[in-house]
Amino acid sequence: MAADPATRRTGTVTERSFLLLWGSQAASVLGDGLSVLAVPLLVLHITHNPATAALASATRAIGYLVAGLIAGTVVDRSAARPVMIVADSVRAGLFTVLMLLTLIGRGDVAAVLGLACAAAAVGVFYETASAVVVQDLLRPDELVRGNSRLELTNQMGLLIGSAVVGAVVSVSGVHAAIGLVAVAYVVSTVTALLVRLPAEDKHRKRGTGGIGGAMRDLRAGLRYVMGYPLVRTIVALQAVINFLIAAEALVIFFASQSLALQPIAVGIVVTASAAGGLLASLVANALTNRFGGPPLIVYGIACLSTAIALISLVHDAAMLVGLNLLVGAGSVVATVNIRALRQRVVPREMLGRVTSTARTFAVAAYPLGAVLAGTLTSTVTHNDPRPVFLTAGVLGVAVAIVAHVLVLRAASRHSAGSETTST
């Protein structure tokens, strides 16, 4: 099942090509972080309707539902780096058009949402292709370190992006923030152009058969995911993690309503999760070297699940901040190691489809979990989210126990099979 080592896995995170990839993703993620707040603010500026603004906040989920599986097939039939370049150049163009429409007063809500959803769908191609490029660039023992650095950039981009948008909108208006998103994607595109992959030519123009061939490739990818226990397990776990973390969507309600915290304290509570993710991304490689990747997937799920369960016992802001930090840290530790394990075991010709399938399920799982958690809180527990936190956490611990058996056993079997093949 492992990809051919002769075609990839020769580099380290300190070499020029990975540093350029890191720079491209940093700029791209900054664009994502800027758009997360800029698009809803633009919609609010046009409609003054919070429900429509909430819909604008869901563009990434919509993008994955529309393009997730398609993106994987396209990336597997192409050279991955050009897909990254085209994707972010298109996103730069879409946000430039959106900025111009806003400037001339022609940016109605339908146009804004349409362009934002199109940009989110195109972004799926970039994210899927960048995961394949990481596999092409790095040795197996460098995958966790590389993914940790990229995840650090992801967390920082989302934090910095929202802060920058707030400042830019207050000084220059929402159209300037939209223009800044376009600039970020231009920088990402230019940087990706400088990345060089030793095996890129080998993966060019491999797709045949037009639409019919693409559909066969798509079905083959789904069969591959379902047919290999380790791959199937890590795809399912990524979805489960997102479904469980969705209970965290109630933390804002819990902090403001149940604990009666002031807005600044609520902001600190929410930021704690991202801070936990930042800290975890800094130490994930060291932890993996100490405990191993598959065990850390289990430990990460157990950590975030236990923290969610303990939130049900919280009565002050300090404890809530600490537990929310653990939720973010556990999530990133598990996610980084799931991503590296997937890149380590999935063949290059299947990685795009496996990656996009995993992310599509994961992105879809979060809103489903959030809606379920919110519905249970409002209809069953009389607006008290504590029982929901406890239930989600206990279920998460049970998942961690099952994962301990499934992931470790499947990873052990895969390693044994790889050693047998190599000998």
Q: How far apart are the first and last CA of the chain?
A: 15
What whole-number distance in Å separates Cα of residue 303 and Cα of residue 48?
A: 40
Question: CB count, 10 Å around CB of 272?
Answer: 22
Q: What is the DSSP string of 117-161?
A: HHHHHHHHHHHHHHHHHHHHHB-GGGHHHHHHHHHHHHHHHHHHH
Q: What is the pLDDT of residue 207?
A: 53
pLDDT at 405 over 80: no
Judge whether 238 and 297 are in contact, CB under 8 Å: no
What whole-number distance in Å separates Cα of residue 253 and Cα of residue 369?
A: 16
Whose tokens are 């999760």? That residue is 273
Extract the tokens encoding 173. 């208006």
Q: What is the pLDDT of residue 124?
A: 94
Neighbouring C-alpha atoms within 13 Å toward the C-beta of 386: 9
Question: 6-15, 57-66, 217-226 — which is least confidently predicted?
Answer: 6-15
Sign of the alpha-carbon torsion through 409, 414, 417, 419? negative
What is the value of pTM for the model shown?
Answer: 0.82
Q: What is the pLDDT of residue 336?
A: 92
Q: What is the pLDDT of residue 117?
A: 92
Question: 16-20, 253-257, 264-268 — which is least confidently predicted?
Answer: 264-268
Judge whether 203 and 55 are in contact, CB under 8 Å: no
Mean pLDDT over 401-411 rounds to 72
What whole-number distance in Å separates Cα of residue 423 and Cα of residue 413?
A: 15
What whole-number distance in Å separates Cα of residue 136 and Cα of residue 7?
A: 7
Quote the Cα angle for 4-9-15, to 5°.
160
What whole-number distance in Å separates Cα of residue 235 and Cα of residue 406?
A: 12
What whole-number distance in Å separates Cα of residue 265 and Cα of residue 260?
A: 10
Neighbouring C-alpha atoms within 13 Å toward the C-beta of 99: 20
Q: Which amino acid appears at position 394 of this protein?
A: V
Nearest to 301 by CA among 355, 254, 337: 337
Query: Domain coordinates of the chain in residue numbers?
Result: 1-207, 220-423
CATH class assigned to 220-423: mainly alpha
pLDDT at 9 over 60: no
Confidence of residue 408 (pLDDT cuts 50, 70, 90): low
Nearest to 180 by CA among 167, 191, 193: 167
Give how far Cα 85 sits from Cα of 22, 126, 127, 325, Å.
14, 8, 11, 35
Mean pLDDT over 90-117 rounds to 90
Considering the domain 1-207 in this protein, what is its CATH number?
A: 1.20.1250.20
Strand, coil or helix: what is 62? helix
Mean pLDDT over 156-177 rounds to 83
Judge whether 177 and 41 are in contact, CB under 8 Å: yes
What whole-number distance in Å separates Cα of residue 398 and Cα of residue 293?
A: 20
Highest mean pLDDT among 6-15, 236-245, 368-377: 368-377
Question: 153-162, 227-236, 260-269, 404-413 — which is least confidently predicted?
Answer: 404-413
Same fold, 1-207 and 220-423: yes
pLDDT at 204 over 60: no
Report pLDDT digits (tens) over 209-221. Answer: 567 777 888 888 8
Report pLDDT digits (tens) over 175-187. Answer: 898 999 999 999 9
Extract the tokens encoding 172. 């220059």
Q: Which amino acid appears at position 214 of this protein?
A: A
Q: What is the pLDDT of residue 245?
A: 83
pLDDT at 99 over 90: yes
Whose tokens are 């940790």? That residue is 148
